[in-house]
Every structure is written in structure tokens, then in C-alpha cells.
Amino acid sequence: MKTVDLRASLPRRQRVVGLRELSEIGLVVVHCDGRDREPGDDDLAVLKEHAQFHIDKNWGSTAQPAYGDGLMYHFAVTSRAIYETRDLHEVTWHARGANRSGLAIVLPCGFDQAPTAGQIRNLLALLDWLINGRDDLQLEYKDVWGHGELTQYGNDTPCPGASLREWVQNYRRNGPPDDDFPIEGPPTITPEVFSAQLERRKSPALGEASGAYYFDLIASYGLDPAIALAFFGKESEFGSYEHSAVDRTAMAGAKNWGNLRPNPDLNQPPGGRATRRIDSGRYGPFRGYERWEDGLRDWCEKMLSATYRGKPLLGVLNVYAPQSDGNEPAAYAATVHQWVGGWRAQSVDLPRAA
């Protein structure tokens, strides 16, 4: 994910409209800039032009003019990058009565233009970072609004356009879309974040190989290590079974990354690379492995089988962890969304001012 700090690169006036504590931020306000854009537009030139427009604009009245101090958005999101354009402590004029509590994000596009797939991908990464990746902000999905939706604050505008407004409304109600969490695909977190989670949870899998080794192994199958890590956490608490409902003593040596079930035919081998069956208690048998790597390889190959391949996350979970087994697939998916969103946020390096 490419991120660029433009706070010192855009036109500014010396004065600042206002300052605030980060604890005052309670809204994320999504804008478009109302100008039709072409794929070849230069991001920096577009943002410099808009910053100058905000400086020259009279935000007050003829009798009491008030001119802007710079671009009035804290972040700008294009297909190429997330741009940090204002310090979050700075109050900007972007949403009338919501100026002090609002964190402003702009997607350069026209009112009648739909944002590009790249813009939506980068917007999701930014929102994940703001909501899940920063301890100094107390934001939730329900706090994300389109500019023109905030009528209670005096806003009467078509911004951010019909298409982006609909996307924001769905995000606010449901969180990140399920199709943004495909199991098959490139890594969406860094090896460092992956390894740090295993270390923080004191995963016994680290006794056999490094986090980077497991990360590369998962990626070699064409699967996203973030999703595999979330399954590991949900199924076995990263191998510890510390608060698991299964028999912790029985499962401690299973080395079963995804709690895979054995072949039901007791006259046949347990399946895959497993060497034995383990009785977990009231939840029945699971496969037992000699190495964590073997259990992980079997999980990866299962995700690439005809049963699961190509399905969205919830479609996978309806089969993998069905309600008939006492599971709640929707709740399972929500946990994966939350964890992976947070890990992705930690993997987005938004540079700070020196």
C-alpha cells in the first residue's frame, strides 16, 4: 500500500482555522471534490489546485470574509495512494456544524462519477487504519458518513455523489464488505504483523518454525496469510486452546491449524498428512499431526478444493463451520473481518511528521 505525506507539500496560509484534541473526533466525513476526473490526472497537481481553491475561497460573507488556510480535507484517496494532507489536530471547514468533530476524507471524483475500484480499495485500507489501527481515535463503522448525509449539522449538498454515498451507507451498516476478505489472493498484511500476532499470543507453532516461514508457506499456495491467521486464531486461539470449548488437554498436541476433521471411516487413515485421530470430548474427533506445518498445508489445500475455492468468506464458513455443528458462521465472519481489518491497518504505514 503506497501512502504519501503531503502536509508540507500543498499550498497553505500561515494561520490555522482551529485546533482540537483527537478525543474530539467522532465522525469520519467522506467527500468527493465534485470534479470529473480522468485516469491520467496527476494526483499532486489535482490536490495542489484544490488546496489553492480552498485558500482563495471566501467561506464567510461579503461583509465578513473568511478565507481558507489550505486544503480542507485531512486525507485524499486516489487509485494510486492514500495522501495525508492535514494534521488530525487541525479543524477544517468541510462539513459546517461537524467541522470540529469531523475527520475529512476526499476522493477526487465528480458528483456523477463512481469511485474507481482502486479508490475503494485504498479507502477501505484507510478506514481500517482509522477504526482498528489507532488507539488515539475512538471510531467505529457507525461513525462514517457521507458529507450530504449530515443534514443535522446544516449540510445540504449532493456530495459525495450518489454512488459513493451508497457505498458509505453500506459500510456504516455492515462494516467492510465480505468480498474484501477473499481467502485466495495476495498477502494483505506484512510478514512482521503476521509474526507479531503469533508472538503476542505465545503460539506453540513458533516452537517449530518462524512466523515468516508460515507466512511464506501460506502465500506459496496463493492464499492470503491474514485470513489463514484469523482461522488459526478462531479455531484454536493460535494453537493454545486457552479458552476453547474443546478439550484443551486432548487438543494440545494436535498441531491442527484449522481444526480439520478426520476421515469418518475408522478403517481408513485420518486424512491428509494427519497421523492419528484425537478425541476432543463433546465436539468429537479431530486430526492429529506431527508438525504444525503439516496441519497448515492440509488447511491450505482444503481451501483450494472444489468445496471452498471461489466462495466468499461467509460461503466458506457456512460449510466449514456450519450452524448444524453449533457454530455461528456470521459471527465467525465478523471476527475475521475485525481481526484482519486491524492487522491490515497495522500494515499500512502512514508516515508521521518529523
Q: Are residues 83 and 228 located together in one domain of the fold?
A: no
Phi, psi of 47 (to 5 degrees): -75, -35
308 part of a folded domain: yes
264 part of a folded domain: yes
* Structural domain of 126: 3-175
Query: Which is more confident, 345 or 26?
Result: 26
pTM higher than 0.85: no
Q: Are residues 145 and 21 located together in one domain of the fold?
A: yes
Name the least confident of 6-10, 90-94, 149-153, 239-243: 239-243
Max mean pLDDT among 222-226, 235-239, 320-324 falls in 222-226
Q: How many CA atoms lie within 13 A of 113 on its CB side?
A: 18
181 part of a folded domain: no
Q: Are residues 225 and 292 located together in one domain of the fold?
A: yes
Identify the bridge partners of residue 59 per DSSP, sorted by sequence position.
none
pLDDT tens for each residue of 99-140: 999 999 999 999 999 999 889 988 988 998 898 778 899 999
Q: Which of 175, 207, 232 is the last residue of a domain?
A: 175
Q: Are residues 142 and 18 located together in one domain of the fold?
A: yes
Write the CATH number for 288.
Answer: 1.10.530
- Average pLDDT over all residues of the chain: 91
Q: Are residues 169 and 33 located together in one domain of the fold?
A: yes
185 part of a folded domain: no
- Number of domains comprising the chain: 2
Q: Are residues 234 and 94 located together in one domain of the fold?
A: no
Per DSSP, 261 falls in state: P
- Hey, how many other C-beta atoms are within 10 angstroms of the C-beta on 75? 25
Q: Are residues 289 and 147 located together in one domain of the fold?
A: no
Q: Which of 109, 141, 175 is the last residue of a domain?
A: 175
315 part of a folded domain: yes
CA distances from 26 to 82, 98, 136, 142 (A): 21, 9, 12, 10
Q: Are residues 327 and 221 located together in one domain of the fold?
A: yes
Identify the bridge partners of residue 54 per DSSP, sorted by sequence position.
none
Instruction: Give the position of cell 503506497.
Output: 2
Write the CATH number for 28.
Answer: 3.40.80.10
- Hey, how many other C-beta atoms are within 10 angstroms of the C-beta on 43? 17
Torsion of CA 287, 338, 303, 122, to 10 degrees: -160
pLDDT tens for each residue of 335-353: 898 899 889 878 765 443 3
182 part of a folded domain: no
The grid coordinates of residue 131 equal 477504526
Q: Are residues 270 and 156 located together in one domain of the fold?
A: no
Please report the pLDDT score of residue 46 as a whole number. 96
